[in-house]
């Protein structure tokens, strides 16, 4: 018995990591959830490309992850998901650097709090641009790559969209965010229909409130958190507790949990496409239907 831990580590040693040799692109890579997704993909053996429009945030996440994992497995690339040329260039850089792309995680996003009466057109367009058009741009740009790879017998591509609990359970004063995320979610289902012929899988993750990942706070929540609470007539100080207490398991949802969901789908353990995985501690109003 006293050698049991040594025995266990010996048994684990020879076991290949589930995503060894795969490459992954995570957009919005300078964000809190991207940090958790990156961490779990790296732990599963993938090479990870984090892309973001904000280089400062991107560098911080890359530096944090490089303290935990082999820096050679992590790359940061500037990319604006609303700009097709920028998306194309980013993908080219990835292909030139490692020859292909196996896992795509459209994750870049922004939020805005306003009732429909107060929502101005330009802000609505901006949120749609990032959250909906941005998802479309990266999926569209990756399709020719995935098709080429499929023709040469490469392992099936995996797209995992970081969607939201909000898609099934929208909230007042959050119309721009809810509508844009619902649109991106629907695009994911369309991509599942269209890409099944090449074996590619497209799935969605619906998380509820996540406020930070260790040292990286959610930029999105930093902007909308206080207003979100005020729109419910609640004290902004109680944000985390409010979210923890509203789920069935009374648990805090973490960026790492989303990362675990991404690795589950990316590993292709089940023949699943077009599906939604809630990572929300159980929110009955947001049960997928």
Name the residues that contact ligand NAD, by CB under 6 A. Answer: 27-28, 30-34, 52-54, 57, 79-82, 107-110, 130, 134, 162, 164, 181, 207, 209-210, 218-221
b/e map 118-152, b = 16+ CB within 10 Å: ebeeeebebbbbbbbbbbbbbbebbbebbeebbee
Q: Which is nearer to ligand NAD, 149 or 188 (CB)?
A: 188
Q: Which is nearer to ligand NAD, 149 or 162 (CB)?
A: 162
For residue 96, the minimal CB distance to ligand NAD (Å) is 20
Q: Which is nearer to ligand NAD, 196 or 229 (CB)?
A: 229
Q: CB-based burial of residue 8 (10 Å sphere; 0-12 exposed, 13-18 middle, 19+ buried)?
A: exposed
Cβ neighbors of 100 (< 8 A, separation 6 or more) are 23, 145, 149, 154
For residue 49, the minimal CB distance to ligand NAD (Å) is 13
Helix axis angle, 175-195 relative to 121-128, nearest 10°?
Answer: 30
For residue 41, the minimal CB distance to ligand NAD (Å) is 15
Q: Which is nearer to ligand NAD, 65 or 81 (CB)?
A: 81
For residue 168, the minimal CB distance to ligand NAD (Å) is 12
For residue 184, the minimal CB distance to ligand NAD (Å) is 8
- Residue of closest CB approach to ligand NAD: 31
Q: How far is CA 113 from CA 105, 119, 227, 228, in A?
A: 25, 8, 7, 7
Compute the distance between CA of residue 81 and CA of residue 76 in angstroms, rounded to an integer. 14
Q: Which is nearer to ligand NAD, 149 or 281 (CB)?
A: 281
Helix (H, G, I), strand (E, B) or coil at 47: strand
**Residue 175 phi/psi, 5° resolution?**
-65, -45
For residue 112, the minimal CB distance to ligand NAD (Å) is 11
Helix axis angle, 134-151 relative to 175-195, nearest 10°?
Answer: 10
């Amino acid at each position: 018995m006293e050698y049991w831990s040594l025995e266990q580590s010996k048994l684990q040693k020879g076991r290949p990591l589930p995503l060894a040799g795969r490459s992954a692109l995570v957009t919005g890579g300078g964000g809190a959830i991207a940090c958790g997704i990156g961490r779990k993909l790296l732990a599963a053996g993938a090479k990870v490309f984090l892309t973001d429009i904000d280089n400062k945030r991107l560098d911080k996440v890359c530096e944090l992850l490089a303290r935990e994992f082999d820096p050679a497995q992590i790359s940061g690339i500037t990319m604006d998901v609303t700009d097709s040329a920028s998306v194309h260039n980013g993908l080219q850089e990835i292909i030139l650097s490692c020859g292909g792309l196996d896992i795509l995680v459209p994750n870049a996003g922004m939020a805005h709090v306003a009732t429909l009466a107060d929502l101005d057109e330009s802000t609505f367009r901006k949120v749609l641009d990032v959250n909906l058009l941005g998802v479309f741009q990266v999926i569209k740009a990756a399709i020719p790559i995935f098709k080429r790879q499929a023709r040469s017998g490469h392992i099936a591509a995996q797209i995992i969209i970081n969607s939201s609990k909000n898609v099934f359970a929208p909230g007042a004063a959050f119309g721009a965010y809810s509508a844009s995320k619902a649109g991106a979610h629907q695009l994911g289902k369309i991509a599942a229909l269209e890409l099944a012929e090449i074996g590619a899988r497209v799935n969605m993750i619906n998380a509820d409130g996540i406020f930070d990942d260790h040292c990286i706070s959610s930029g999105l929540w930093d902007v909308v958190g206080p207003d979100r609470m005020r729109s419910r007539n609640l004290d902004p100080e109680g944000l985390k507790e409010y979210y923890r207490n509203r789920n069935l398991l009374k648990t805090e949802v973490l960026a790492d949990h989303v990362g675990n969901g991404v690795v589950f789908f990316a590993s292709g353990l089940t023949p699943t496409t077009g599906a939604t995985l809630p990572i929300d501690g159980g929110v009955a109003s947001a049960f997928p239907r």
